[in-house]
């Protein structure tokens, strides 16, 4: 598949993806990409986030590929439990947030996420009903590389240990993220139409 063959749904994480984030850049440069907007990016509720992703997928006119980052990965994994096989064509998962250990996360804009209260914890660890790749950093403060590997194995995702990349966001210097574009293109090419 090529980007023109699919509807690419950008699913940001907690507090959304700012203007310098690679997801925002992809949304602007990939013609078939659009962001899944949430009513509340700072005080997320699992059911609301999952519902928005499902709505966006149902409204799509081409096969759907999700590009999720951080807490967006957790929302997608919760959503996957409700999907019939074949509903999504694939998912490109980047820097998953370890919601089961959110108490270890650094503050984000002076805030902390109560993952259990918001419904994101515990994180489902069952196989995903669509092809996926999980790209993780060895220095992500929101998820250890070991935990990311466990997630990938449980979900049946291809695991890419990407090295020292922080949380793979604008703050870690991954605005353009050309390597991510290449990995995403290769992932799409591996998906069947």
Which of 155, 158, 85, 82 has its CA nearest to residue 125? 155
Q: Give me the CATH number covering residue 128.
A: 3.40.50.1820
Q: How far apart are CA 63 and CA 44, in angstroms?
A: 27
Confirm if 69 and 92 have CB atoms less than 8 A apart.
no
Which of 148, 35, 128 has its CA nearest to residue 82? 128
Confirm if 7 and 91 have CB atoms less than 8 A apart.
no
Question: Looking at the 3D structure of the chain, how many domains does it have?
Answer: 1
**Max Cα–Cα distance, the chain, nearest Å:** 44
- Give the least confident one: 103-107, 153-157, 162-166, 185-189: 103-107
Confidence of residue 193 (pLDDT cuts 50, 70, 90): low
Residue 115, pLDDT > 80, answer: no
Q: pLDDT of 50-90, one tens digit each? A: 999 999 999 999 999 999 999 999 999 999 988 888 899 99
SS3 content of the chain, % helix, strand, coil (to 5): 35, 15, 45
Residue 14, pLDDT > 80, answer: yes
Confirm if 160 and 92 have CB atoms less than 8 A apart.
no
Query: If phi over 0 gives left and psi between -120 and 50 gives alpha, with beta otherwise, what is residue 81?
Result: alpha
Give the pLDDT of residue 170.
Answer: 76
Average pLDDT over the chain, rounded to whole?
93
Q: Does the reported pTM lie above 0.85? A: yes
Residue 126: domain span: 3-190
Angle at 55 between CA 50 and CA 61, to 5 degrees: 135
Strand, helix or coil at 168?
coil
Residue 112, pLDDT > 80, answer: no
- Of 102 and 91, which is predicted with more confidence? 91
Q: How far apart are CA 90 and CA 38, in angstroms?
A: 21
Residue 12, pLDDT > 60, answer: yes
């Amino acid at each position: 598949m090529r980007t023109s063959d699919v509807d690419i749904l950008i699913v940001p994480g907690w507090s959304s993806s700012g203007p310098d984030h690679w997801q925002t850049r992809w949304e602007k440069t990939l013609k078939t990409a659009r962001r899944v907007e949430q009513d509340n990016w700072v005080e997320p509720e699992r059911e609301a986030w999952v519902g928005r992703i499902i709505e966006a997928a149902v409204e799509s006119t081409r096969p759907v590929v999700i590009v999720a980052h951080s807490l967006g990965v957790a929302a997608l994994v919760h959503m996957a439990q409700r999907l019939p096989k074949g509903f999504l064509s694939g998912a490109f998962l980047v820097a998953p947030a370890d919601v089961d250990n959110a108490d270890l996360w650094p503050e984000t804009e002076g805030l902390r996420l109560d993952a259990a209260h918001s419904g994101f914890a515990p994180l489902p660890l069952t196989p995903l009903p669509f092809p996926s790749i999980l790209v993780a950093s060895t220095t992500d403060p929101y998820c250890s590389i070991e935990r990311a590997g466990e997630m990938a194995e449980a979900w049946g995702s291809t695991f890419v240990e990407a090295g020292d990349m922080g949380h793979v966001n604008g703050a870690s210097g991954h605005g353009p993220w050309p390597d991510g574009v290449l990995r995403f293109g290769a992932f799409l090419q591996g998906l069947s139409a």
